[in-house]
Every structure is written in C-alpha cells, then in structure tokens.
C-alpha cells in the first residue's frame, strides 16, 4: 500500500500541469467524478473544511432556485488601473488596451440580483476576425474558474461587492495570443426551476498588444530604460547626411496619438496575405516576426494598399517633398482618411519613421537605424560594381548603387523559428528597393547573422549584409562594354558609422560593430567571404586582380564650411607617389545628386593632361556660388565629385569619389513659453532670417508636436528679402496631454531653399 501511495504522489507531482490542462478542457469532469464517488468529497470536507466555511457554502446553495436569469447591466473595464499596469495609459483610444502575457481586471455589474456561483455560470467569450471559430483559435471561451493558468486564456473571481452587485474578475492573456481587436461577449447561464437559461451581451472591444514588459512574451526587453526608449518614447531622432558629417532629423513617432493604433492594426488586415487567407494571416499575428514583415510591406504602397509613395527624382508637384515631413501621424491619418490612397511622397527616413511608429504602437520594441555609405546590391553578389570607360567617364552598369545614407529599422524579439542564437535585434526595411518573395518587403534579418555573413539565416539577410559590408569595385570596360581590368577594390567604403538615437538622450549611438567586425580585421574578411560564397558571383569577378593600386593618390575635399546659400569651394589634389615623373590625364566631374545615387545636374566637367613630378601634387580648385548650384540641389543637398586619373606611362586608371554635404543654415526659431497648459490655447510663432542673396518666395511654415494638435501651417504672404528677419503671426496650439518634456517641431520650405528645421522642448502641465 505504501508503494502505491508513493507512486501516485510522484505521478501527480510530475504531471500536475497535464492534470490542470485536462480539467480546463473538461470542466464538468470533476463534478461528474465526485457524483460517482461522493465518499471522496465527504472525506475531504471532514478532514479539511471548518464549520464557518461550510456555513458559507450552505448559505449560497440553500434557498429556492433563482426565478430569473442573472442580467448584465454593464462591464467595468477599470481602464485607469488596467492601463497603468499594462503601460498603455498614453494611448488615446476608446477601447481598453492591454498587453498579453499578463492579467487584467474586469468588473461585471449585474442588474437584477447578486451573483450566485452555485446557480450562475459566467463565460467570457473573446473573438477576433470576421469568421471566428474555436477550431482555428479565433474564438476563445473563458469560464470563470478558481485559478489562473499563465499559458492559457483563463479567468477567476477575485472580489464581489454585494451592494453594487459587481463581481471583479481577473483574466489571463497567454503570451502567444493573437494581437489585435477582440470582441467581448459576456455569457451568463442560470439554473432556474424550469431549466437552464442564458443571457449573452456584446460589450465594448478589447485591444491586445505584444508585451515587452513580461519575460514570457517573445518581445520581452529586460532593461526598463530601453523599454522606455524603444516602446514608450513617442519622439526621436533619425540620422542623415554623410558619414564624415552626420546630421539629425527630429521625428514625431506619435504611436499613442488618436487613431494610430487602429491604423497599425488596419495595416495588418490590409496586407495581401490577409486578403488572400484572412484566418491564416490572423493566426500568424501572434508572431512579432510575421507582423514586422507584413508592416515592412504595408508602409510602402508598391504592392498593395500601402501608406507611402516613394520618390527620388525630385519631381514632387503632385504631393509633398519628403523633407517636409517631421512625423508619422499626419501621414498615417491622411492615408486612412483618403480610403488608403498612398501619401505622396517619402524617402527612406520617412519610411523608417512610419515603421518605428506602427511597430511601437503594437508593442514591438523598435528603433530607426541609419547606415552611411549604404550599398544597394541589385545582383546579390556582395559587391557594388562600378564601370568606367577608357576615358575615365562613368559607363552603364548593373544598377548597383551606394546611397550616402539609408535608414531602416530594427525590431527586438526572439526567433523561435530560427536556430538558437539569433534572438534580439532584427533588421526590417520598409523602403521599396528589391522584391522579396514577389513583394517589396525586407526582413526580419537577425543582426547577429548579418555580422557573421550568414546570409542564409532569416529573411533578406543577404540584402542587408551587402548594405553594410559589400566591397565597392571599379572596373574598366572597352567600347563594347566588356570588362578589361579591375581599377579599384575598396573594402572599407560601405557601411560606416551605423547610427541610432542613444537610450535616454539625444546623443548618437554608433552600432557599427553590431553589424560588422572591425574593418581590416580577419573576422570581417571571414564574414565577407562566407557571404560572398553564398552570393551570385558575376563572371568577370575571377578574371582580374588589382595591381599597383597605390602609385597615384586622389584627395577630394571641400574648403571651409559648406552652408546652403553660401559659396562652395572644392579642392582636388592628385599626388604622384611613384619615384619617377608621370604624365596624367585628370578628369573631374561634379554633379548634384539624388538620394538614390542618380545624378541630377552636371555642374562642372574638367579634363586636362599635366606632368606631375615624382612625390609632388597637382591641385585643382573649383568654386560655385548659390546661383550655380542652389536650384539644382535635391532633397538632401549633396554634390558629388568624381575624379579619374589615367597615367600615360603605365596606361593605368585611378578613381576616387567624394560626396559633399551642403548643410542647411541654422536660421529658424520657434517662439513660445517654456511651459504650456493642458487643454488651454497658447500662442506660438516662427522667426526666420533669410540667409540667401535672393528673396525667399512661396514660403511655408509648418508645426507639430507630441501631445499637441499638429499639422498646423502658415503661408507667408510676401517674399522675405535677403537678410530680412520675418516673424510669423501667432498660431495657437492646445496640448491635450501632460509631459515633463514635449518636443515641438517646426519646418520651413520655400522655392529657393528647403529642409530648414527647428525644435523647442517645453513642459506641459495642468
């Protein structure tokens, strides 16, 4: 007998979870078992229950059966406490917004009488999607029980107020729950004298999000300061410019603003996958990897009813210049308001800002990442191939390009779909560049796989690896377009100063070493060779090797500060590092550039043959006034200088390129009080001094801020003359949320100059 008891105890202890699951799935089994074996309950009560408890039981079950079904008056969603506990109190939303992998409280207020557990069975029914069923796990029926189970939808009573007839329930949402909007139906079944009757009431919806605050959720982020930055911060900075002169754009993500959460969920519903098979896509929405990939497709409009139209040719007459945008809210609301017509226009930093917004809105930790000298490898061979004619001019090539900067995103989550070791930050990119599985989408690609050159791990890891670590190779071609020699192989040009906003400050954090090993290290070359071996190698790659790369040095630099509106001076120095004199044909071509590395306008072409003494320099200077370059600049104000040198004695060709960043002048100011009041109208003005030598015409100021009515703009009625300081009339703003530090962003554009920004930090108090 003792052996039997010990064995039963061991089995019970080892299989407690299975027993609980069985009873949850068969709630009537225990009662039927006791009915068949009443002595078990008798023995338990005699040995374990006191008289006071027995009397309470008798009070509940004694008396006649109810004469009417228990009627539901209303549901108390306890938003004030639930939203604080779930870190969702910043959302401006009519529904209760909660996070999975934890519990929330609901109060059921009854109309006609108090709740009698012995007679009344309560079930909470949560449904999601257009055709919910229990079989596909989109209908979840949760009976009120005696305990909670963390891995399942469960519910228990935790309090009852007999005066108000309110029963408080605690509901557990499992960590693998589908995220989205759930319809809540409360069902009460009462045992009456003449049988069992039910009442069902549909109540307001509940929105369930990912939970980076709880370890059971795949998006869990351990550091509280990182959660504050990557989930709860609704403003940020996106880095732009050149690797050697990095600038920043302030961006209002606005993930808590009214309507933004619903738009993020709408994007998931409108994706092509969801339209083809709504149920299958819906079930996959429990996965942050799946959601991030869908959103990377829906933020652009190339394949579906996506949000933003990308344009890089400088022709924006039918929309808005990408540089005008300072936040995501206006773009997302315009898309939604116009019945999913794409918003015109955006470029990489706008796509990234939008993707950060919708990822954070859904609870996925996210950040914008800027890669300087970012490669676009159209052939997936891990090299950016550039072609030069025998005269040193650019020739038609493969379509490979290197953008002066490119911005994508990272989402933070575990990857149970991949081998171990690839959890953490994952690269996702909404800018339409190359199709993935027939759709303009990119990622999620594990950062750890990118660094190691494991381009076969994750989604689109090969493309992102090339963006940060491709080699830039120049080739010489003959008149028939055939490659005749390798001119230059630059292993360090691509992927420099990869940047994101630092946690808790406006400083820049360099994350380059998270994406690649140190340039020049053995590990970096091993990673490159691993990726290169799995790429699509071009046939000419193995035919030529580089010879004598260091005999001629080309050094291109701007002279002094380069400010838009001022003169731009450029120096091109060619050094003969050989021990003998040489005759060199030097060709320098200067263009303004579009952001995708296409040329916009030729400013200067210079070609000449000169003798350069051994160890000496040849220096050529170029100078451009604002009238020469200003009207030819594109969005990010870049001038590219390309110099080639053909040495007569050896017939060898040398090349170098340098992108000059024309910086916007600091001439705009926002004028308002340092402290604003919640729900009170307060004035704000713009002040600008014209830095140009010409008048600024058709000028427009625009304004937006976190927790402040945004989208206000003002058109200046007359030209602003050179050197004139103009102060706008007062514009009223009305903050609707308190904050210790709210960022107000201002933008100024006119026909002659654009991308002029200003910001002001203010406190908003009651």
The pLDDT tens digits of the residues spanning 97-107 come to 999 999 999 99
174 and 244 part of one domain: no
Task: State the catalytic residue, choosing from 83, 348, 442, 667.
Answer: 348
**255 within a domain of the structure (yes/no):** yes
Q: How far apart are CA 546 and CA 609, in angstroms?
A: 24
Q: pLDDT value at position 197?
A: 87
Pair type for strands 139-145 and 675-677: unpaired
Q: Using CA atoms, how far apart are residues 437 and 439, in angstroms rounded to an integer? A: 6
HSE-up (13 A, CA, CB side) for residue 317: 1
**For residue range 420-476, what is the model confidence (pLDDT) as tens digits?**
999 999 999 999 999 999 999 999 999 999 999 999 999 999 999 999 999 999 888
Q: Is residue 138, in this structure, part of any structural domain at all?
A: yes
Question: Do 520 and 493 touch, CB atoms closer than 8 A?
Answer: no
Percent of the chain with pLDDT over 90: 68
Copy the structure tokens of residue 474.
């120049």
- Domain-terminating residue out of 40, 62, 84: 62
In a domain, 433, yes or no: yes
What interhelical angle do 522-533 and 461-469 show, nearest 10? 140
Tokens of 514: 């998270």
Assess if residue 6 is contained within a domain. no
CB–CB of 104/208 below 8 Å?
A: no
Rounded Cα–Cα distance for residues 350 and 354 (Å)? 6
- What tens digit of pLDDT does each residue of 622-663 get? 999 999 999 999 888 999 999 999 999 888 899 999 999 999
Strand-pairing partners, residue 197, are 190
**Residue 54 and residue 87 in one domain:** no
Tell me the pLDDT band of 319, cut-offs 50, 70 and 90: very high
Q: Considering just the CA atoms, what is the radius of gyration of the chain in Å?
A: 33
Q: What is the domain count for the chain?
A: 5
DSSP 3-state of 379:
coil
Q: Does 484 share its domain with 598?
A: no
The answer, yes or no, to whether the previous bond of 345 is cis (omega within 30 of 0) is: yes
In the chain, % of residues over pLDDT 70: 94
DSSP for 695-755, please give it.
Answer: -B-S-EEEEEETTEEEEEEEE-SS-B-TT-EEEPPPEEE-B-S-EEEEEEEEEEE-SS---
CA atoms lying within 13 Å on the CB side of residue 583: 5
Q: Mean pLDDT, to the nearest integer, of 404-420?
A: 97
* Residue 460 known to bind ligand: no
Token readout for 61 is: 């079950």
In a domain, 121, yes or no: yes
Other CB atoms within 10 A of residue 375 CB? 28
Give the model's pLDDT for residue 422.
Answer: 97
- pLDDT at position 134 is 93
Q: Cα torsion at 282, 287, 290, 296 (round to 10°)?
A: 100
CATH number of the structural domain spanning residue 173: 2.60.40.10
The residues, ordered by sequence, that sit 6+ positions from 691 with a Cβ below 8 Å of its Cβ are: 563, 564, 565, 566, 665, 667
User: For residue 546, is pLDDT > 80?
Assistant: no
In which residue are the tokens 């910043």 written? 90
Which entry of 376, 406, 493, 591 is annotated as an active-site residue?
A: 406
What would the two tokens of residue 612 be?
């350069």
pLDDT band with cut points at 50, 70 and 90 for residue 8: very low
Is 199 annotated as ligand-binding? no
524 is in an annotated binding site: yes
Note whether 456 and 371 are same-domain residues: yes
Residue 257, in any domain of the structure: yes
What would the pLDDT profile of 255-270 be if each residue is shown by its tens digit? 999 999 999 999 999 9
Region for residue 59 given its phi and psi (left: phi exceeds 0; alpha: psi -120 to 50; beta: otherwise): alpha
- Mark whether 395 and 260 lie in a shared domain: yes
pLDDT digits (tens, 9 = 90+) for 601-618: 999 999 999 999 999 999
> Both ends of the chain: CA-CA distance in Å?
73
Q: How far apart are CA 267 and CA 719, in angstroms?
A: 42
Residues 357 and 429 grouped into a single domain? yes
Take residue 636 and report the two structure tokens written for it: 């990010």
What tokens appear for 32 in the block? 């039927």
Q: Are residues 144 and 282 in the same domain?
A: no
Domain boundary among 148, 177, 209: 209
CB neighbours of residue 209 within 10 Å: 27
| Spatial contact of 232 and 216, defined as CB atoms under 8 Å apart | no
d(C-alpha 160, C-alpha 109), whole Å: 10
> Buried b / exposed e across 579-597, counting CB within 10 Å, b at 16+?
eeebebbbbbbbbbbbbbb
Which has the closest alpha carbon to 230: 448, 415, 464, 501? 501
Active site residue 429: yes
Same domain? 638 vs 725: no
Catalytic, 406? Answer yes
pLDDT of the residue at 162: 87
Neighbours of 4 (CB within 10 A): 8
For residue 471, say whether it is annotated as part of any ligand binding site: yes
Q: Name the residue with higher pLDDT: 490 or 238.
A: 238
Q: Does residue 547 belong to any structural domain of this protein?
A: no
Strands laid side by side in the 508-510 sheet: 445-446, 424-428, 401-413, 366-376, 496-501, 508-510
CA distance 613 to 605: 24
Question: Helices in 577-647 by DSSP H: which ranges?
Answer: 626-629
Summarised one tens digit per residue, pLDDT across range 485-540 is: 888 888 999 999 999 999 999 999 999 999 999 999 999 999 999 999 888 877 78
Supply the range of the domain harboring residue 54.
16-62
Give the C-alpha separation, 521 to 269, whole Å. Answer: 46
Distance of CA 303 to the CA centre of its chain: 19
**Is a pLDDT exceeding 70 seen at residue 15?**
no
d(CA 385, CA 97): 50
CB 75 within 8 A of CB 39: no
Is residue 197, in this structure, part of any structural domain at all?
Answer: yes
Tell me the DSSP string of 299-362.
SB-SSSS-SEEE--SS--TTS--GGG--BSHHHHHHHHHTTSPPEEEE-HHHHHHHHHHHHHHH
Kindly write down the DSSP assignment for every residue of 480-498, as one continuous string: TS-EEEEEEEESSSSSEEE
Same domain, 617 and 702: no
Looking at 217, 429, 659, 749, which residue is catalytic?
A: 429
Q: What are phi and psi of 195, to 5 degrees?
A: 125, -175
Same domain, 298 and 437: yes
Measured distance CA(218)–CA(176) in Å, rounded: 9
Same domain flag for 127 and 30: no
Q: For 21-54, what is each residue's pLDDT tens digit?
A: 677 677 667 777 777 777 777 777 877 888 777 7
- 709 and 624 share one domain: no
Going by their DSSP bridges, the two strands 102-110 and 668-671 should be labelled as unpaired
Neighbours of 663 (CB within 10 A): 17
Q: List all residues 6 or more positions away from 746 whose beta carbon is below 8 Å from its beta carbon.
A: 668, 670, 686, 701, 702, 703, 757, 758, 759, 760
Say if residue 552's pLDDT is above 80: yes
Contact between 365 and 226 (Cβ < 8 Å)? yes
Q: Which residue has the tokens 């402040």?
A: 708
Q: What's the pLDDT band for 549 if we cut at 50, 70, 90? A: low
Neighbours of 17 (CB within 10 A): 10
Tokens 């995103």 belong to residue: 409
Q: What average pLDDT does the chain have?
A: 90
Q: Can you give the pLDDT at residue 304?
A: 83
């Amino acid at each position: 007998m003792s052996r039997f008891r010990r064995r039963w105890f061991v089995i019970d202890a080892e299989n407690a979870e299975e027993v609980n699951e069985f009873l949850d799935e068969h709630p009537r089994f225990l009662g039927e078992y006791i009915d068949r074996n009443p002595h078990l309950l008798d023995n338990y009560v005699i040995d374990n229950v006191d008289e006071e408890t027995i009397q309470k039981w008798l009070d509940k079950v004694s008396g006649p059966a109810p004469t009417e079904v228990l009627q539901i008056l209303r549901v108390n969603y306890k938003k004030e406490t639930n939203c604080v506990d779930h870190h969702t109190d910043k959302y401006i939303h009519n529904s209760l917004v909660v996070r999975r992998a934890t519990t929330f409280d609901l109060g059921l207020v009854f109309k006609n009488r108090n709740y009698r557990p012995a007679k009344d069975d309560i079930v909470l029914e949560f449904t999601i999607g257009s055709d919910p069923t229990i079989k596909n796990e989109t209908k979840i029926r949760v009976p009120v029980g005696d305990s909670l189970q963390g891995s399942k939808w469960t519910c228990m009573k935790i309090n009852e107020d007999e005066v108000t007839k309110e029963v408080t329930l605690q509901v557990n949402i499992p960590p693998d729950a589908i995220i989205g909007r759930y319809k809540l139906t409360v069902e009460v079944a009462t045992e009456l004298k003449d049988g069992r009757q039910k009442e069902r009431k549909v109540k307001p919806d509940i929105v369930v999000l990912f939970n980076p605050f709880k370890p059971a959720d795949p998006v869990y982020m351990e550091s509280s300061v990182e959660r504050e930055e990557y989930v709860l911060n609704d403003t940020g900075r996106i880095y732009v410019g050149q690797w050697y002169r990095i600038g920043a754009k302030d961006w209002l993500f606005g993930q808590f603003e009214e309507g933004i959460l619903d738009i993020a969920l709408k994007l998931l519903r409108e994706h092509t996958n969801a339209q083809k098979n709504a149920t299958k896509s819906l079930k996959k929405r429990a996965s942050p990897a799946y959601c991030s990939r869908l959103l990377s497709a829906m933020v652009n409009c190339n394949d579906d009813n996506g949000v933003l139209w990308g344009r890089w040719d400088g022709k924006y007459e039918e929309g808005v210049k990408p540089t005008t945008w300072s936040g995501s809210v206006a773009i997302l609301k315009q898309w939604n308001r116009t019945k999913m017509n794409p918003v015109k226009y955006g470029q990489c930093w706008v796509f990234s800002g939008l993707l950060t917004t919708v990822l954070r809105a859904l609870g996925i930790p996210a950040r914008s990442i800027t890669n300087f000298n970012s490669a676009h490898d159209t052939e997936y061979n891990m090299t950016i191939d550039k072609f030069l004619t025998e005269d040193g001019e650019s020739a038609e090539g493969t379509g490979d390009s290197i953008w002066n900067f490119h911005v994508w995103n990272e989402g933070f989550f575990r990857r149970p779909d991949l081998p171990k070791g690839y959890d953490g930050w994952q690269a996702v990119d909404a800018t339409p560049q190359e199709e993935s599985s027939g759709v303009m989408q990119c990622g999620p690609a594990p950062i750890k796989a990118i660094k190691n050159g494991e381009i076969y791990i994750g989604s689109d890891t090969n493309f992102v690896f090339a963006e940060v670590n491709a080699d830039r190779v120049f080739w010489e071609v003959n008149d028939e377009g055939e490659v005749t020699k390798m001119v230059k192989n630059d292993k360090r040009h691509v992927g420099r100063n990869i940047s994101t906003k630092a946690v808790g400050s406006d400083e820049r954090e360099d994350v380059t070493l998270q994406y690649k090993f140190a340039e020049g290290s053995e590990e970096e070359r091993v990673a490159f060779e691993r990726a290169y071996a799995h790429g699509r190698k071009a046939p000419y790659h193995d035919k030529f090797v580089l010879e004598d790369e260091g005999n001629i040095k080309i050094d291109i630099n701007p002279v002094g500060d380069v400010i838009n509106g001022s003169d731009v001076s450029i120096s091109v120095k060619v050094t003969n590092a050989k021990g003998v004199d040489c005759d060199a044909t030097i060709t320098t071509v200067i263009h303004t550039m579009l952001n995708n590395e296409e040329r916009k306008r030729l400013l200067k072409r210079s070609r000449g043959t000169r003798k350069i003494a051994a160890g000496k320099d040849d220096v050529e200077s170029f100078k451009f006034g604002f009238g020469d370059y200003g009207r030819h600049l594109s969005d990010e104000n870049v001038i590219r200088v390309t110099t080639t040198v053909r040495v007569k004695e050896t017939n060898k060709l040398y090349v170098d390129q340098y992108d000059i960043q024309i910086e916007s002048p600091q001439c705009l100011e926002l004028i308002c009080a340092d402290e604003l009041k919640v729900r009170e109208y307060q004035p704000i003005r713009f002040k600008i001094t014209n830095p140009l030598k010409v008048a600024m015409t058709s000028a427009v100021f625009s304004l937006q801020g976190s927790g402040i009515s945004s989208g206000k703009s003002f058109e200046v009625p007359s030209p602003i003359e050179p050197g004139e300081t103009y102060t706008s009339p007062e514009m009223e703003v009305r903050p609707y949320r308190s904050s210790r530090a709210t960022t107000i962003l201002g933008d100024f554009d006119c026909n002659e100059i654009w991308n002029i920004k200003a910001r002001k930090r203010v406190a908003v108090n009651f």
